[in-house]
Amino acid sequence: MKGLVWTAATRRVVPAAEAKVPYGLPGVLFGASLFETLRVIEGRFFRLERHLERLERAAESMGWVPPARETVVEGLARVLQDPGLEGKDLRVRITLLDCGDGRVPETIVWAGPYVPPSPDLYRRGVPAVIAPYRLDETAPWTTLKTGNRLIHQTARRRAERDGAWEALLLNTRGRLADGAISNIFFVSGGVLCTPGVDMGALPGIVRDAVADLVGELGLSWRPGAYEPQDLYAADEAFLTNALIGVVPLVCVDGRRIGSGVPGRLTQELKDLYERLREREAKLLDAWLP
């Protein structure tokens, strides 16, 4: 892996290939870890406090002691100030590794250059398939960003092998839950539908931003329990995450969504989201003590 890594244990920045973590940690052995993925454009973060709050809340709900916020911010500052990365469009991952025994988890910050997808991804939209594996919406960690991603990873790899871009996961009740790396949205008769967190959806940072913007499009917002058929019959659909923003979803399981091209509302929402990002994004200085 390329990029640079800072760890709270060493307080040093090293090339990712040289970073070390102790073998015996539950975070390493059992996937007992939490993470956040962010995009940094020209040194500016979008809603960093929401990412940090989500991480801290997740750590608490795992029964861990969250690291001090200053520790995470120090790690971010150190990797961003490195001459190898300064000023670049970056992809950043904050990881908490469970150290067991009630200890504060090890905090790791990785950053590397953000490689944008081809513009065709946004222009043409992407296909997805429904994965053969289910998310357990009753498990408390399903809606946390844990490092235990075997279902998500395997589903997405399978989807890519079948020519799709994303895998959509159902929950144990057969309802739409979440994408492997994104939140799912579709428009049906003037209503913006998205799987509820109680269905297994990750409470995404961009999902929240979409909820803030939906009124500007004259749509109402309805998180809930949806079946694949609801998505197949939608007028238009899209996927979101903090790296890619808003990506049109044009085909699911080989069936065209709407007319099979990115929808008008999707395009408008993508523009609104990008403007919101531009307006709200802040330099890390805003979080430095």
Ligand X SMILES: Cc1ncc(COP(=O)(O)O)c(C=O)c1O
By CB under 6 A, name the binding residues for ligand X. Answer: 37, 152, 178-179, 181-183, 202, 204-207, 240-242
Q: Concatenate the DSSP letters of all residues of 33-71 into one string.
A: EEEEEEEEETTEESSHHHHHHHHHHHHHHTT--PPPHHH
Q: What distance in Å separates the CA atoms of residue 176 and residue 157, rounded to the nearest whole number?
A: 19
Q: Under a CB-based contact definition with an 8 Å cutoff, are residues 1 and 101 in contact? A: no
> Please, which residue, 85 or 239, has the CB nearer to ligand X?
239
> Please, which residue, 99 or 247, has the CB nearer to ligand X?
247
Instruction: Write out the two tokens for 101.
Output: 């025994």
C-beta of 185: minimal distance to ligand X in Å? 11
> Please, which residue, 107 or 194, has the CB nearer to ligand X?
194
3-state secondary structure of 238: strand
C-beta of 201: minimal distance to ligand X in Å? 7
Q: What distance in Å separates the CA atoms of residue 69 and residue 125, rounded to the nearest whole number?
A: 37
What count of other Cβ atoms lies within 10 Å of the Cβ of residue 112?
A: 19
Quick one: which of 124, 122, 170, 142 has its CA closest to 270?
A: 122
Q: What distance in Å separates the CA atoms of residue 137 and residue 120, rounded to the nearest whole number?
A: 34
> Please, which residue, 99 or 137, has the CB nearer to ligand X?
137
C-beta of 103: minimal distance to ligand X in Å? 26
C-beta of 87: minimal distance to ligand X in Å? 23
Can you say how many angstroms the Cα of residue 257 is from the centroid of all Cα atoms in its chain? Answer: 23
> Please, which residue, 59 or 205, has the CB nearer to ligand X?
205
Shortest-Cβ-distance residue relative to ligand X: 204
Apex 240 CA angle, 237 and 245, nearest 5: 120
C-beta of 101: minimal distance to ligand X in Å? 28
C-beta of 205: minimal distance to ligand X in Å? 4
Q: Which residues pair with 15 in a beta bridge?
A: 4
> Please, which residue, 92 or 99, has the CB nearer to ligand X?
92
